[in-house]
């Protein structure tokens, strides 16, 4: 029997987090294109993205529970998604340098057959250490920033860039879990 839970994400971090708590699930990434709508607040954007991911997969698997999620970094009301090249990652890290920002993860559960839709989000405050250009370049050289919102991985080498965190650590990884 297949697990009733589907993770609608290709994120290895979300997969790892669900495995850590012993859940049985399938991974079936959504096929939606991530794009921001003009005038959308950061929370609305993250919720819409997570909802769209979960709904897209639930249409294909209506008799299974689908978890969709989206993580973003917000600084001065600007949303930082995943950097697509060194220049974008460098710009993000320079902007985050020595400053506090918000990590928002929205998550949505959909069970189409039962007409279930649950939406929620969690915010965590993260303060970055002051970063020299050399430190930023060395971090970029690790290749770690490129599939992470804001261009850093708190669970990897990016932890060395972080001064403090207020809130849920696993939220910054990509999925808030109860502690």
Q: Which of 70, 76, 85, 147 is catalytic?
A: 70
Measured distance CA(155)–CA(163) in Å, rounded: 14
Mean pLDDT of 121-134: 97
Q: How far apart are CA 157 and CA 75, in angstroms?
A: 21
Q: pLDDT digit string (tens) for 79-116?
A: 998 998 999 999 999 999 999 999 999 999 999 999 99
177 vs 109: CA distance, rounded Å:
14
Q: Is 128 a residue whose pLDDT tops 80?
A: yes
* 66 vs 102: CA distance, rounded Å: 26
Say yes or no to pLDDT of 2 above 90: no
Q: Is residue 21 very low, low, confident or very high in pLDDT (cuts 50, 70, 90)?
A: very high
70 is catalytic: yes
pLDDT at residue 30 greater than cutoff 80: yes
Cβ-proximal residues to 33 (8 Å cutoff; 6+ apart), any chain: none
- CA–CA dist 167, 179 (Å, integer): 11
Q: What is the pTM of this model?
A: 0.93
Q: Give tens-digit pLDDT for 45-83.
A: 999 999 999 999 999 999 999 999 999 999 999 999 899
Please report, to the nearest 10 degrees, the dihedral formed by the alpha carbons of residues 174, 165, 73, 152 taken in order: -70
């Amino acid at each position: 029997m297949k697990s009733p839970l589907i993770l609608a994400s290709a994120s290895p971090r979300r997969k790892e987090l669900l495995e850590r708590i012993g859940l049985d699930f399938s991974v079936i990434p959504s096929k939606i294109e991530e794009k921001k709508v003009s005038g959308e607040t950061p929370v609305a954007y993250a919720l819409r993205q997570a909802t769209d991911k979960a709904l897209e997969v639930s249409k294909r698997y209506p008799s299974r529970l689908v978890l969709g999620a989206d993580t973003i970094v917000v600084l001065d009301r600007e949303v930082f998604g995943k950097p697509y090249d060194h220049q974008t990652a460098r710009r993000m890290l320079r902007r985050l340098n020595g400053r506090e920002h918000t990590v928002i993860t929205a998550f949505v559960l959909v069970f189409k057959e039962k007409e279930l839709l649950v939406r929620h989000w969690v915010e965590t405050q993260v303060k970055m250490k002051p970063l020299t250009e050399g430190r930023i370049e060395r971090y970029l050289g690790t290749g770690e920033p490129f599939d992470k919102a804001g261009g850093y991985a708190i669970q990897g080498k990016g932890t060395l860039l972080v001064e403090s965190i207020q809130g849920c650590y696993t939220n910054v990884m990509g999925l808030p879990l109860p502690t």
